[in-house]
Amino acid sequence: MATWTWFDGKWHEGSPRVIAPADHAMWMSSVVFDGARRFEGVAPDLDAHCARVINSAKVMGLEPKLAAKDIEALAREGFSRFPGEAALYIKPMFWASEGFIAPDPASTQFALMLIETPMPAFKGFSAMLSGFRRPGREMAPTSAKAACLYPNSARAIAEAQRAGFDNCVMLDGCGNVAEFATANIFIASGGVLHTPAPNGAFLNGITKQRVMALLRAAGVEIIERGLTWEEVMAADEIFATGNFAKVMPCIRIGERKLPIGPLARKARALYMDFAHGRAQIP
């Protein structure tokens, strides 16, 4: 994959070595990142993703030395290093190079990676119930998009893939549905959408918030509340929202097959209209 990285004041082709074995980030995981997308010549909500990585850094005790507008400007500058309307994954990162247990805020480093990555086709995925759970806000820095949270997702995904699934639904510490291992979850029942209310166990995703605003503006009822696994299994349709694929239907939950439903299709169409400036921002 074609990659360009901004680090230490200049662009580097590929993935330069930026962390040393003694760096705090290497052994204490003081790394935060975010993910945005450019596709078909547009980069929807890039500003929001740049703002979120700043917030994540502060949650982790880091001291970001760039403003969100500076990160966005760098990303847009980097677009020109790729051909045409290449689909990109945009990954700004902060980490600490010094500190013992707690990071030294003054040692905060920054890098921005632009990676050529195709958008997944709107064809759906399979999911099961994971045996692993999301930690609560008292247990982990769940209000940050922190790298230290992702090994838990990785083992959940590995478990699902060993069982023949693409993804999995993860519960929170109370046994309610939190999200998929890699994206937020919506279920539809009787034409009404339901999605877990933010409770500190998962990020209230930027794409999730955008899709909810678009759907509500289009007259779709959405209820944010606690969801059970039994409700997920009984749903008329299920779909995920997240930066990587935006809107993606779940077409098999456990051993139950599901269609790509009308609300998933509507959410996808509304999002694409928004991304391309064909719809008013709600």
pTM value is 0.95
The answer to whether the CB of 114 falls within 8 A of the CB of 34 is: no
HSE-up (13 A, CA, CB side) for residue 239: 27
Q: Please name the residues in contact with 75: beta carbons below 8 A apart, sequence gap of 6 or more.
A: 36, 43, 46, 50, 90, 92, 112, 114
The answer to whether the CB of 227 falls within 8 A of the CB of 195 is: yes
Integer Rg of the chain from CA? 19
**Around Cβ 219, how many Cβ atoms within 10 Å?**
6
Q: Give dist(CA 139, CA 281) in Å, integer.
A: 36
Beta strands in 149-245 (DSSP E): 167-171, 177-180, 184-189, 192-196, 222-225, 237-242
Cα angle 212-242-261, degrees, rounded to a multiple of 5:
65
Nearest partner of 197 among 228, 230, 227, judged by Cα: 227
> Using one digit for the tens of pLDDT, what is the confidence trace for 41-95?
999 999 999 999 999 999 999 999 999 999 999 999 999 999 999 999 999 999 9
> Using one digit for the tens of pLDDT, what is the confidence trace for 200-224?
999 999 999 999 999 999 999 999 9
Fill in the DSSP letter of residue 97: S
pLDDT at 281: 73
Q: Can you list the domains of the chain with their CATH numbers?
A: 3-116 (3.30.470.10), 125-275 (3.20.10.10)
Secondary structure class of 219 (helix, strand, coil): coil
The answer, yes or no, to whether residue 280 has pLDDT greater than 80, is: no
Sign of CA dihedral 152, 127, 186, 48: positive
Q: Give dist(CA 25, CA 245) in Å, integer.
A: 28
Beta bridge partners of 187: 194, 238
> Using one digit for the tens of pLDDT, what is the confidence trace for 254-274?
999 999 999 999 999 999 999
Beta bridge partners of 222: 193
pLDDT at 279: 76
Beta strands in 207-280 (DSSP E): 222-225, 237-242, 246-253, 256-257
Q: Give dist(CA 282, CA 210) in Å, integer.
A: 9
> Using one digit for the tens of pLDDT, what is the confidence trace for 153-170?
999 999 999 999 999 999
The answer to whether the CB of 88 falls within 8 A of the CB of 37 is: yes
Q: Give dist(CA 169, CA 171) in Å, integer.
A: 7
Q: How confident is the model at residue 175 (pLDDT cuts 50, 70, 90)?
A: very high
